[in-house]
Amino acid sequence: MFWIVLRKELLSFFRDKNTIIYSIILPIALYPIIFWIMNELMTLHYGSLRDMPSRIAVSSDVPEDMVLFLMKSDLDLEISSIPLMMKSSVDPELKKLDLDVVIRRSGCSDEDPVEVFFDSSSDRSNSARDRIESVLTDYRIEKLNQSVNSILENGMEIRLIDIDLASQESRSRFLLGILLPMIVVIITVMGGIHPSIEVITSERERKTLETTLVSPVSATGLILGKFVAVITMSVLAGILNIIAMILTLRYTLFGGASDNLSFSIPLSTLPLMLIGIVLIAATFNALMILIAAFAKDFKEAQSYVSPVYAIGIQPAVVAAIPGIPFNSYTALIPITNISLFFRSLIQGNIEWIPTIITLTSLLVWCVILLTFARRLLRRDALVLGLEKQQIKSIMFGNRFKKGE
Partner 1 sequence: MIRVNNLSRIFFDSQRGEIKAVDSLSFTCQAGEIMGLLGPNGAGKTTTLRILATLLSPSGGTAELNGFDVIKEPDKVRASLGFLSSTTGLYPRLTPEEILKFFGEINGMKGAGLKSRIDALIAEFNISDYARVRCEKLSSGMKQKVSIARALIQDPPVLIFDEPTVGLDVIAAAQTMKAILEYKKRGKCILYSTHIMSEVEKLCDRIAIIHKGTLQAIGTMEELREQTGERYLEDIFFSLMGTGTTFAENGS
Binding residues (CB under 8 A) for partner 1: these are 1, 4, 8, 11-12, 15-16, 206-208, 210-218, 379-380, 383-384, 389, 399-400, 402-404
- State the nearest-atom distance from the C-beta of 45 to partner 1, in Å: 46
Cβ distance to partner 1 smaller for residue 352 or 400: 400
Length of the chain: 404
- Cβ nearer to partner 1, comparing 11 with 34: 11
Supply the minimum distance, in Å, between the C-beta of residue 6 and partner 1: 11
Q: Name the residue nearer to partner 1 (CB basis): 216 or 323.
A: 216
Q: Closest separation between CB of residue 345 and partner 1, Å? A: 37
Angle at which helix 336-346 crosses helix 168-197, to 10 degrees, equals 140
The residue among 159 and 379 lying less far from partner 1, judged by its C-beta, is 379
Strand order in the sheet with 114-118: 77-82, 54-59, 101-105, 114-118
Q: Which residues pair with 223 in a beta bridge?
A: none
Nearer to partner 1, 113 or 403 (CB): 403
- Residues in Cβ contact with 396 at an 8 Å cutoff, skipping those fewer than 6 apart: none
Task: Convert 67-94 to b/e letters by CB count within 10 Å (16 or more is b).
Answer: bebbeebeeebebeebeebeeeebeebb
- Cα 253 from Cα 40, distance rounded (Å): 10
Minimum gap (Å) between residue 225 Cβ and partner 1: 11
Q: Tell how far CA 71 is from the center of its chain.
A: 43
Answer whether 241's CB lies under 8 Å from 31's CB. yes
**Of 11 and 353, which has the nearer Cβ to partner 1?**
11
User: Is residue 377 within 8 Å of residue 200, measured between CB atoms?
Assistant: yes
Alpha-carbon Rg for the chain in angstroms: 31
| Residue 222 or 280 with smaller CB distance to partner 1 | 222
**Of 30 and 217, CB closest to partner 1:** 217
Q: Which is nearer to partner 1, 352 or 396 (CB)?
A: 396
Please answer whether residues 253 and 207 qualify as being in contact, where contact means their C-beta atoms are separated by less than 8 angstroms. Answer: no
DSSP-derived secondary structure for 245-259: HHHHHHHH-GGGGGG
> Minimum distance between the CB of residue 298 and partner 1, rounded to whole angstroms?
13
For residue 286, the minimal CB distance to partner 1 (Å) is 23
Least distance CB 189 / partner 1 (angstroms) = 24
Beta strand pairing status for 77-82 and 114-118?
Answer: unpaired
Sign of the alpha-carbon torsion through 29, 34, 35, 41: positive
Report helix, strand or coil for 78. strand
Instruction: Tell me how far, at minimum, the Cβ of 282 lies from partner 1, in Å.
Output: 24
CB of 12 to partner 1, least distance (A): 5
Query: Would you say 318 and 339 are in contact if contact means Cβ atoms under 8 Å apart?
Result: yes
